[in-house]
Structure 1
Amino acid sequence: MTVKIDVWSDVVCPWCYIGKRRLETALDRFDGETTVTWHSYQLDPTIPAGQREPVREMLAKKIGAPASQVRAMTHQVTQLAEAEGLAYNLGEAISVNTRDAHRVAHLAGQHGLGTEMHEALLKAHLCDAAVVDDPDVLVKLATDVGVPAGEVTDVLAGTKYGAEVDADIRTARQIGVNGVPFFLINQKYGISGAQSADTFLGALQKVRSES
């Protein structure tokens, strides 16, 4: 039996990348078949398209905290990421509206490259401080994982895959997701947050034993 894992994630979410790595660690230790499908979620869909702002400034305004508190928060998550082999650069990261990035991720999913595209977007924003609403950046990231450049350009020029992004977010609301990452195993067990690899592995083994 193949265990199906659905993941809701935003491509600018530091906890989502940590959660992805911990899930992958669990999958490496799990001796069964699995499929992973990535779904769109926007931490802040109200950011105007085209607005770009340093993440630290955005966080300071959003939570009403002084710069020192924001630095402490980003330092903590950076250390946790480091433990998973991820080199975050949140001091340089730029906050953007992620809708276009998600639309491109859906295109990549049509080519069987959804996981690779999600990985590329997370790394670009969180580690490389790339601006992930920039069309040139999105075209390069997508073509690097194997999506035809012409298709990416076509998507970015219009509204393709917008309905799919909206559907993912609507489904998340319907099943009670109010933060990401969120993992749904076999449409049955929900795991919220970047839990430990042991937690993921235990859930996978439980689902398999019940089937």
Structure 2
Amino acid sequence: MPSMKIEIWSDVACPWCFIGKRRFEAALAEFPHRDAVEVQWRSYQLDPGLPEHYDGTELEYLSTRKGMAPQQVSQMFDHVAEQAKGEGLEYRFDKVAVANSFTAHRLIHLAAAHGRQDAAKERLLSDHFEHGKDIGSRDYLTALGGDLGLPDADVEELFTTDKYADDVRNDFEEGRALGISGVPFFVIDRKFGLSGAQPAATFTAALNQAWQDANPLVLVNSGDGEACGPDGCSV
């Protein structure tokens, strides 16, 4: 059966990435060939230099590290939260625990090895933006690994070895090679790219276009059979 591969570069510390995930999922659910679609989450970090634990609020972090005025940050929070609400998400920026997402990305790669990649991505995004969980915390990530049914020994390796670190960095490098400078970014069959949390209708159009491109209609002996046209029918 023909297949389509969709790679999504995304950071679990990116609010638009969760919104984009929901909009993409809405389009995919209505796509007639969805069973032939493979989705792979790719790692991206908005701020690789962020400490594992940042002592401050999300507002303070963006104000101090990104140089944004507090009022501007608050307005951005309100806008993003309103957009999230439209997708059934309840963002709590006042509760967000600012943390480095590198180990969380390694956990997603581990989950992928056990067929639980999307579930890991979903939980990390929801826990970060809706429930104030610390995605850089060893205790949190260990508990999440258990919830996902991942082997305890494999989860422990995330904190005692550098397993999957190269996989995360390779995602970064591939993203840069493709010219990705912001997330979410959706790549279909390495031919079509969509930047940002596009409306579901835009994802639908892209899916249809990519499918037609990969599965062109081939006419066989098109001139030999009887048919009807604007001027009448064959006799």
TM-score greater than 0.5 by the shorter chain: yes
| Distance in 2 of aligned mates of 1:40 and 1:53 | 25
Per-residue CA distance 1:108-129 (angstroms, 9 max, x = gap): 0100111110111101111111
Q: Greater CA radius of gyration, 1 or 2?
A: 2
In 2, Cα distance between equivalents of 1:22 and 1:14 = 13
The answer to whether 1:39 aligns with 2:42 is: yes
Q: Give the Å deviation of 1:197.
A: 0.6
Contact 2:109 2:167 in 1 (8 A): yes
Task: Give the letter for the 2:126 counterpart.
Answer: K
- Alignment map for 1:165-204 (pairs within 5 Å): 165-204=168-207
> Aligned to 1:65, which of 54, 63, 68?
68
Bigger mean CA offset, 143-152 vs 23-32: 143-152
Counterpart in the other structure of 1:7: 8
CA contact (8 A) 1:18 1:81 kept: yes
Runs of 4+ in 1 over 6 A off after TM superposition: none
**Alpha-carbon displacement from aligned partner over 1:140-171 (angstroms, at most 9, x marks no partner):** 12221221222111222221110001000000
Q: Is the contact made by 2:53 and 2:98 (CA closer than 8 Å) also made in structure 1? A: no
Cα deviation per residue 1:95-140 (whole Å; 9 max; x = unaligned)?
1111111111110010011111011110111111100010110111
Q: State how far apart, in whole Å, the 2-side matches of 1:76 and 1:63 are.
A: 18
> Which structure has the highest helix share of the two?
1
Any stretches of 5+ residues in structure 2 without a counterpart? 215-235
Q: Quick one: percent identity of the two aligned structures?
A: 39
Q: Which has the higher contact order (CA 8 A, sep 6+)?
A: 1
Query: Is 2:156 the counterpart of 1:156?
Result: no
Distance 2:170 2:15 in 1: 23
- In the alignment of these two chains, the number of paired residues is 211
Q: Say whether the 8 Å CA contact 1:184–1:190 is kept in structure 2.
A: yes
Name the aligned partner's letter for residue 7 of structure 2.
D
Partner of 2:30: 29
RMSD over equivalenced CA pairs, Å: 1.2
Instruction: For residue 68 of structure 1, report the CA deviation from its aligned partner.
Output: 2.3
Q: Distance in 2 between matches of 1:53 and 1:133?
A: 14
Equivalent position SS for 2:39: strand
SS at match of 2:143: helix
